[in-house]
Amino acid sequence: MPTVALALGGGGARGIAHILMLEVFDELGIKPVMIAGTSIGALYGAAYASGLTASQIRAYTEEVLERRFDLIRQLFAARSAPVQRLLRVLPLRSSVLNPETLLDLLFPGRVAKDFADLDIPLQVVATDLSSHEATVLASGPLRPAVAASIAIPVLFTPVTIGGRMLVDGGLANPLPFDLIDGAADITVAIDVNAKTAAADIGPRLTVVDVVVQSIQILQKSVTRERLRYRRPDILIEVAVDRFGALEFTRPHEILEAAQPAKLELRRALEHALGTEHGGHAVALREDSPLPVVSRAARR
Protein backbone atom coordinates (compact mmCIF):
# COMPACT_ATOMS: atom_id res chain seq x y z
CA MET A 1 0.00 0.00 0.00
CA PRO A 2 1.27 3.53 -0.74
CA THR A 3 2.70 5.44 2.20
CA VAL A 4 1.08 8.63 3.52
CA ALA A 5 2.54 11.67 5.31
CA LEU A 6 0.42 14.26 7.11
CA ALA A 7 0.71 18.01 7.75
CA LEU A 8 -1.55 19.65 10.34
CA GLY A 9 -1.85 23.43 10.19
CA GLY A 10 -2.24 26.04 12.90
CA GLY A 11 -5.44 27.87 13.76
CA GLY A 12 -6.01 27.91 17.50
CA ALA A 13 -9.33 26.40 18.56
CA ARG A 14 -10.18 25.74 14.92
CA GLY A 15 -7.52 23.05 15.05
CA ILE A 16 -9.85 20.92 17.16
CA ALA A 17 -11.11 19.89 13.71
CA HIS A 18 -7.84 17.98 13.24
CA ILE A 19 -9.24 15.30 15.51
CA LEU A 20 -11.79 14.31 12.87
CA MET A 21 -9.08 14.10 10.24
CA LEU A 22 -7.09 11.76 12.48
CA GLU A 23 -10.23 9.65 12.87
CA VAL A 24 -10.15 9.04 9.12
CA PHE A 25 -6.64 7.62 9.36
CA ASP A 26 -7.74 5.28 12.14
CA GLU A 27 -10.90 4.22 10.33
CA LEU A 28 -8.97 3.40 7.16
CA GLY A 29 -6.15 1.72 9.07
CA ILE A 30 -3.54 4.16 7.76
CA LYS A 31 -0.50 5.04 9.84
CA PRO A 32 1.32 8.13 8.57
CA VAL A 33 5.03 7.64 8.05
CA MET A 34 5.62 11.25 9.13
CA ILE A 35 3.65 14.11 10.68
CA ALA A 36 4.48 17.82 10.54
CA GLY A 37 2.55 20.24 12.69
CA THR A 38 2.27 23.93 13.44
CA SER A 39 0.73 25.34 16.63
CA ILE A 40 -2.47 23.40 17.46
CA GLY A 41 -1.49 21.04 14.64
CA ALA A 42 1.75 20.33 16.48
CA LEU A 43 -0.18 19.65 19.68
CA TYR A 44 -2.52 17.10 18.11
CA GLY A 45 0.27 15.77 15.93
CA ALA A 46 2.34 15.07 19.03
CA ALA A 47 -0.52 13.24 20.71
CA TYR A 48 -1.21 11.10 17.64
CA ALA A 49 2.48 10.43 17.00
CA SER A 50 2.74 9.25 20.62
CA GLY A 51 0.40 6.37 19.83
CA LEU A 52 -2.93 7.74 21.05
CA THR A 53 -5.89 6.99 18.82
CA ALA A 54 -8.08 9.75 17.47
CA SER A 55 -10.96 8.59 19.66
CA GLN A 56 -8.76 8.81 22.75
CA ILE A 57 -7.61 12.30 21.77
CA ARG A 58 -11.21 13.36 21.14
CA ALA A 59 -12.47 11.99 24.45
CA TYR A 60 -9.70 13.73 26.36
CA THR A 61 -10.17 17.03 24.51
CA GLU A 62 -13.93 17.07 25.10
CA GLU A 63 -13.50 16.15 28.76
CA VAL A 64 -11.02 18.96 29.34
CA LEU A 65 -12.81 21.65 27.35
CA GLU A 66 -16.25 20.85 28.71
CA ARG A 67 -14.95 21.89 32.10
CA ARG A 68 -14.56 25.37 30.66
CA PHE A 69 -15.00 27.34 33.85
CA ASP A 70 -12.51 25.16 35.66
CA LEU A 71 -10.20 25.40 32.65
CA ILE A 72 -10.30 29.18 32.70
CA ARG A 73 -9.71 29.19 36.45
CA GLN A 74 -6.62 27.02 36.07
CA LEU A 75 -5.22 28.92 33.11
CA PHE A 76 -5.46 32.25 34.91
CA ALA A 77 -4.91 31.04 38.48
CA ALA A 78 -1.84 33.23 38.84
CA ARG A 79 -3.78 36.37 37.96
CA SER A 80 -6.01 38.18 40.43
CA ALA A 81 -8.28 39.96 37.90
CA PRO A 82 -11.22 38.17 36.28
CA VAL A 83 -10.50 36.52 32.95
CA GLN A 84 -12.79 38.73 30.87
CA ARG A 85 -11.21 41.85 32.33
CA LEU A 86 -7.75 40.51 31.54
CA LEU A 87 -8.71 39.85 27.94
CA ARG A 88 -10.12 43.36 27.58
CA VAL A 89 -7.35 45.40 29.15
CA LEU A 90 -4.31 43.21 28.47
CA PRO A 91 -1.30 45.55 28.40
CA LEU A 92 0.85 45.19 25.32
CA ARG A 93 4.00 45.01 27.39
CA SER A 94 3.11 41.70 29.03
CA SER A 95 1.94 38.20 28.16
CA VAL A 96 -0.81 36.36 30.00
CA LEU A 97 0.31 32.74 29.93
CA ASN A 98 3.23 30.41 29.83
CA PRO A 99 2.35 28.10 26.90
CA GLU A 100 3.42 25.04 28.87
CA THR A 101 0.56 25.83 31.27
CA LEU A 102 -1.87 25.22 28.42
CA LEU A 103 -0.09 21.99 27.52
CA ASP A 104 -0.49 20.77 31.10
CA LEU A 105 -4.23 20.92 30.51
CA LEU A 106 -4.52 19.85 26.87
CA PHE A 107 -1.82 17.17 26.65
CA PRO A 108 -3.02 13.66 27.57
CA GLY A 109 -0.74 11.98 30.08
CA ARG A 110 0.43 9.41 27.55
CA VAL A 111 2.08 11.93 25.23
CA ALA A 112 5.77 11.11 24.79
CA LYS A 113 8.35 13.10 26.71
CA ASP A 114 10.91 13.12 23.91
CA PHE A 115 10.84 13.05 20.13
CA ALA A 116 12.84 9.81 20.28
CA ASP A 117 9.94 8.11 22.07
CA LEU A 118 7.35 8.81 19.37
CA ASP A 119 5.72 6.04 17.34
CA ILE A 120 5.62 8.30 14.27
CA PRO A 121 8.38 10.78 13.29
CA LEU A 122 7.21 14.32 14.02
CA GLN A 123 8.39 17.76 12.93
CA VAL A 124 7.21 20.76 14.94
CA VAL A 125 7.32 24.28 13.52
CA ALA A 126 8.07 27.38 15.60
CA THR A 127 9.21 30.88 14.61
CA ASP A 128 12.58 32.30 15.63
CA LEU A 129 12.10 35.91 16.79
CA SER A 130 15.70 36.76 15.99
CA SER A 131 16.03 35.36 12.47
CA HIS A 132 12.32 35.87 11.61
CA GLU A 133 12.35 32.39 10.08
CA ALA A 134 10.68 29.07 10.73
CA THR A 135 12.51 26.70 13.05
CA VAL A 136 11.83 22.98 12.68
CA LEU A 137 12.14 20.98 15.88
CA ALA A 138 12.45 17.20 15.53
CA SER A 139 14.63 16.02 18.40
CA GLY A 140 15.00 16.48 22.14
CA PRO A 141 12.24 17.15 24.70
CA LEU A 142 8.82 17.26 23.04
CA ARG A 143 6.88 19.51 25.41
CA PRO A 144 9.03 22.66 25.01
CA ALA A 145 8.91 22.26 21.23
CA VAL A 146 5.12 22.13 21.14
CA ALA A 147 4.92 24.95 23.69
CA ALA A 148 7.05 27.11 21.39
CA SER A 149 4.87 26.23 18.40
CA ILE A 150 1.66 27.40 20.15
CA ALA A 151 3.14 30.54 21.74
CA ILE A 152 0.95 33.24 20.17
CA PRO A 153 2.74 36.58 20.68
CA VAL A 154 1.34 38.79 23.49
CA LEU A 155 -0.98 36.04 24.70
CA PHE A 156 1.84 33.59 25.49
CA THR A 157 5.41 34.08 26.58
CA PRO A 158 8.13 33.00 24.11
CA VAL A 159 9.93 29.70 24.71
CA THR A 160 13.72 29.56 24.65
CA ILE A 161 15.25 26.42 23.13
CA GLY A 162 18.95 26.13 22.33
CA GLY A 163 19.44 29.83 22.91
CA ARG A 164 16.73 30.77 20.43
CA MET A 165 13.60 32.65 21.49
CA LEU A 166 10.69 30.94 19.74
CA VAL A 167 7.02 31.80 19.23
CA ASP A 168 4.01 30.57 17.25
CA GLY A 169 5.06 28.59 14.18
CA GLY A 170 2.09 29.96 12.27
CA LEU A 171 3.90 33.25 11.77
CA ALA A 172 6.41 31.60 9.42
CA ASN A 173 4.86 28.33 8.23
CA PRO A 174 1.19 27.91 9.15
CA LEU A 175 0.63 24.79 7.00
CA PRO A 176 3.91 22.82 6.90
CA PHE A 177 3.21 20.54 3.95
CA ASP A 178 6.64 21.38 2.53
CA LEU A 179 8.23 19.45 5.42
CA ILE A 180 6.60 16.19 4.31
CA ASP A 181 7.28 16.68 0.61
CA GLY A 182 9.02 13.52 -0.61
CA ALA A 183 8.54 11.70 2.70
CA ALA A 184 5.75 9.46 1.37
CA ASP A 185 3.91 8.41 -1.77
CA ILE A 186 0.94 10.59 -0.79
CA THR A 187 1.10 13.86 1.13
CA VAL A 188 -1.94 15.17 2.99
CA ALA A 189 -2.35 18.67 4.42
CA ILE A 190 -5.19 19.89 6.64
CA ASP A 191 -5.83 23.64 6.56
CA VAL A 192 -8.24 24.97 9.19
CA ASN A 193 -7.73 28.62 8.17
CA ALA A 194 -8.48 28.50 4.46
CA LYS A 195 -12.19 29.28 4.35
CA THR A 196 -13.36 32.88 4.19
CA ALA A 197 -16.38 33.08 6.52
CA ALA A 198 -16.06 35.96 8.96
CA ALA A 199 -15.29 34.95 12.54
CA ASP A 200 -17.59 36.28 15.27
CA ILE A 201 -15.22 38.51 17.20
CA GLY A 202 -17.91 40.49 18.97
CA PRO A 203 -18.78 44.18 18.89
CA ARG A 204 -15.78 45.27 21.00
CA LEU A 205 -12.30 44.40 19.87
CA THR A 206 -9.72 43.66 22.54
CA VAL A 207 -5.95 43.72 22.19
CA VAL A 208 -6.03 39.94 22.06
CA ASP A 209 -8.69 40.01 19.33
CA VAL A 210 -6.60 42.33 17.19
CA VAL A 211 -3.40 40.32 17.65
CA VAL A 212 -5.03 36.96 16.96
CA GLN A 213 -7.02 38.17 13.96
CA SER A 214 -3.92 39.83 12.54
CA ILE A 215 -2.04 36.55 12.85
CA GLN A 216 -4.90 34.73 11.09
CA ILE A 217 -4.66 37.16 8.18
CA LEU A 218 -0.91 36.64 8.01
CA GLN A 219 -1.28 32.86 8.09
CA LYS A 220 -3.77 32.83 5.24
CA SER A 221 -1.49 35.03 3.13
CA VAL A 222 1.58 32.89 3.81
CA THR A 223 -0.25 29.64 3.03
CA ARG A 224 -1.81 31.03 -0.15
CA GLU A 225 1.60 32.15 -1.40
CA ARG A 226 3.24 28.81 -0.61
CA LEU A 227 0.51 26.93 -2.44
CA ARG A 228 1.26 28.88 -5.59
CA TYR A 229 4.58 27.06 -5.93
CA ARG A 230 4.05 23.70 -4.25
CA ARG A 231 1.05 21.59 -3.33
CA PRO A 232 0.40 18.51 -1.25
CA ASP A 233 -1.27 15.60 -3.03
CA ILE A 234 -4.40 16.01 -0.93
CA LEU A 235 -5.38 19.38 0.49
CA ILE A 236 -8.39 19.57 2.79
CA GLU A 237 -9.75 23.01 3.63
CA VAL A 238 -11.94 22.76 6.74
CA ALA A 239 -14.84 25.20 7.00
CA VAL A 240 -14.36 26.33 10.60
CA ASP A 241 -13.34 29.91 9.97
CA ARG A 242 -16.44 31.28 11.65
CA PHE A 243 -15.01 30.20 14.99
CA GLY A 244 -12.56 32.45 16.78
CA ALA A 245 -9.06 31.13 17.26
CA LEU A 246 -9.50 31.29 21.05
CA GLU A 247 -12.96 29.71 21.24
CA PHE A 248 -11.80 26.53 22.91
CA THR A 249 -15.09 26.30 24.81
CA ARG A 250 -16.98 25.33 21.62
CA PRO A 251 -15.43 21.94 20.77
CA HIS A 252 -18.67 20.21 19.83
CA GLU A 253 -19.66 22.95 17.40
CA ILE A 254 -16.23 22.94 15.78
CA LEU A 255 -16.27 19.16 15.40
CA GLU A 256 -19.75 19.26 13.91
CA ALA A 257 -18.72 21.94 11.40
CA ALA A 258 -15.74 19.80 10.38
CA GLN A 259 -17.81 16.72 9.52
CA PRO A 260 -18.05 17.49 5.78
CA ALA A 261 -14.25 17.85 5.64
CA LYS A 262 -13.87 14.48 7.35
CA LEU A 263 -15.98 12.82 4.66
CA GLU A 264 -14.04 14.69 2.01
CA LEU A 265 -10.72 13.45 3.37
CA ARG A 266 -11.98 9.88 3.54
CA ARG A 267 -13.09 9.96 -0.09
CA ALA A 268 -9.82 11.56 -1.17
CA LEU A 269 -7.68 8.97 0.62
CA GLU A 270 -9.77 6.07 -0.66
CA HIS A 271 -9.39 7.43 -4.16
CA ALA A 272 -5.65 8.02 -3.82
CA LEU A 273 -5.12 4.56 -2.37
CA GLY A 274 -7.40 2.90 -4.90
CA THR A 275 -9.82 1.66 -2.24
CA GLU A 276 -12.89 3.79 -3.03
CA HIS A 277 -16.23 2.02 -3.15
CA GLY A 278 -18.31 2.01 -6.31
CA GLY A 279 -15.48 3.38 -8.42
CA HIS A 280 -16.39 7.00 -7.78
CA ALA A 281 -13.47 9.39 -8.15
CA VAL A 282 -13.08 12.51 -6.04
CA ALA A 283 -14.33 15.59 -7.85
CA LEU A 284 -12.33 18.78 -7.78
CA ARG A 285 -14.01 22.03 -6.87
CA GLU A 286 -14.22 23.97 -10.12
CA ASP A 287 -15.00 27.24 -8.33
CA SER A 288 -11.92 27.20 -6.11
CA PRO A 289 -8.54 28.63 -7.11
CA LEU A 290 -7.03 26.18 -4.63
CA PRO A 291 -8.54 22.72 -5.23
CA VAL A 292 -9.60 20.98 -2.08
CA VAL A 293 -8.10 17.78 -3.46
CA SER A 294 -5.24 18.06 -5.89
CA ARG A 295 -2.49 15.95 -7.34
CA ALA A 296 0.80 17.69 -6.81
CA ALA A 297 2.29 19.50 -9.75
CA ARG A 298 5.63 17.94 -8.92
CA ARG A 299 4.37 14.48 -9.84
Tell me, rounded to whole angstroms, the distance of Cα 198 from its chain centroid. 19
Pick from 12, 296, 272: which is nearest to 150 by CA? 12
Q: Where are the alpha helices (DSSP H) in the chain?
A: 18-28, 40-49, 54-66, 68-75, 83-89, 99-106, 142-149, 207-229, 251-257, 259-273
Strand partners, 115: none
Does residue 288 carry a catalytic annotation? no
Count Cβ neighbours within 10 Å for each residue of 14-40 and write b for 16 or more, e otherwise: bbbbbbbbbbbbeeeebebbbbbbbbb
Q: Considering 168, 191, 209, 233, which one is annotated as catalytic? A: 168
Query: Would you call 168 a catalytic residue per the annotation?
Result: yes
Do residues 195 and 240 lie in contact, with contact meaning Cβ atoms separated by under 8 Å?
yes
Active-site positions?
39, 168
